[in-house]
Structures are given as C-alpha cells and as structure tokens.
C-alpha cells in the first residue's frame, strides 16, 4: 500500500531553502511510490489568522474547524493523510508564521473523551515529520521540541530532518551532500 503524504510548506519564498528541501524529499518519497500533495501555507486564503478560541469545533461530531476557508480544507486533508510533513524555515526560534497559522487551527482535530480520559484525534497513529532549515546552527533544537511534543500529544510517530547552516534563502540549491541526505530521508519515510 502506498502512503499518502501531505506536505505543508510554510515558507513564503518559492525558491528558498525550505522549498528545495521539500522538492528533494518528494523526489525520494516518490521513488517508493508515495502519493504526495504539497500545500504552501503562505498562499492560502484565511478568514482568521489562527484559531479564534471559539470552541465551536469541540461541539461537533466531526473533526473540523467551523471557520470555512482554505485552512479548514487543509485540516481535513491532514486527517486523511498517512504522513503529515511540516516544512518550515526557522524564524526567530519558531516555525514560520505561515506554518503557525495552520498549526493553531489544528485544535479542531482533537477531542477529549470523558469516558477514557484521553485525547482522541484522527491523527492518532499517523506520522508527523518536521523538515526545517536555519541560517546558522542555533535554534533548530527548540523547534524540534515543539513538533515532538505535538506528535506525542497526538499519539503520532515523529521524525525530523534538520538542516543547520543553510545560509541565505536558496543557498542550498547546489549543495549535493544535503540533497542526497534529503532524498534518502524521503525514501526512508515511505
């Protein structure tokens, strides 16, 4: 069975380092038959800049956001994917704002079960992958902890590929060693 991979590319730069990492990861995963959809969160049309905390999603039987915009469609796709890849540049020791907009809206994908005292989510048992790059060699460990915690909370498997010292936007495009590493990581994911 081929895995369905949803990649959320959170970089506003179409030819930046993160875009190249996604391209190479995709090349590797496709050699193993993965079905991949890439959504650039920078270009989605939002009605709300993040979760507005209304709690209405928790009253629904479905796992969906009540704010009807392109982000709500992405959340539905996350629930259907086998693997969710969050690809982001490191911006001030955090994921990009373009990634965070979707992350905040993920609240609708969780419900607390009073009987079992557990959080239930359609993400349970799936895999969360973080692909991230940083200009220099500091901060990626902080970013990784955030995503590892989300995976643990969601009962998801977690993998990461962190590229420090990527330099200015687009600098890694000719770095053959990073390219090989990312393509190999994509192959192992499937």
pLDDT above 70 coverage of the chain, percent: 99
Residue 120: its H or E element? strand 118-120
Q: pLDDT of 99-148, one tens digit each?
A: 999 999 999 999 987 788 888 899 999 999 999 999 998 899 999 999 99
Counting every residue written for the chain, the total comes to: 190
Q: How far apart are CA 158 and CA 147, in angstroms?
A: 8
pTM of the shown model: 0.93
Query: Are the C-beta atoms of residues 139 and 133 closer than 8 Å to each other?
Result: no
Q: pLDDT of 68-83, one tens digit each?
A: 999 999 999 999 999 9
pLDDT bin (cut points 50, 70, 90) of residue 45 is very high
Average pLDDT, the chain: 92
pLDDT value, residue 49? 81
| CA distances, 43 to each of 15, 29, 101, 178 (Å) | 14, 24, 11, 27
DSSP state at residue 99 = H
Query: Are the C-beta atoms of residues 6 and 41 closer than 8 Å to each other?
Result: no
Domains in the chain, please, with CATH? 4-189 (3.40.50.360)
Mean pLDDT of the region 167-189: 92
């Amino acid at each position: 069975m081929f895995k369905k991979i949803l990649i959320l590319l959170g970089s506003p730069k179409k030819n930046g380092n993160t875009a190249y990492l996604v391209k190479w990861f995709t090349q590797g995963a496709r050699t193993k038959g993965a079905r991949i959809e890439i959504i650039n969160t920078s270009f989605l049309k939002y009605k709300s800049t993040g979760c507005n905390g209304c709690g209405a999603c928790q009253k629904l039987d479905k796992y969906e956001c009540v704010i009807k915009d392109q982000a709500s469609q992405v959340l539905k796709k996350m629930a259907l994917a086998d693997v969710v890849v969050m690809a982001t540049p490191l911006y001030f020791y955090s994921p990009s704002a373009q990634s965070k907009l979707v992350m905040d809206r993920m609240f609708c994908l969780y419900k607390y079960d009073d009987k079992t005292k557990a959080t239930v989510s359609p993400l349970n048992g799936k895999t969360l992958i973080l692909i991230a790059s940083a200009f220099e060699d500091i901060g990626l460990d902080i970013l990784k902890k955030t995503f590892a915690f989300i995976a643990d909370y969601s009962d998801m498997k977690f993998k990461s590929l962190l590229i420090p010292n990527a330099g200015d936007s687009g600098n890694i495009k000719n770095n053959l060693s990073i390219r090989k590493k990312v393509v190999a990581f994509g192959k192992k994911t499937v």
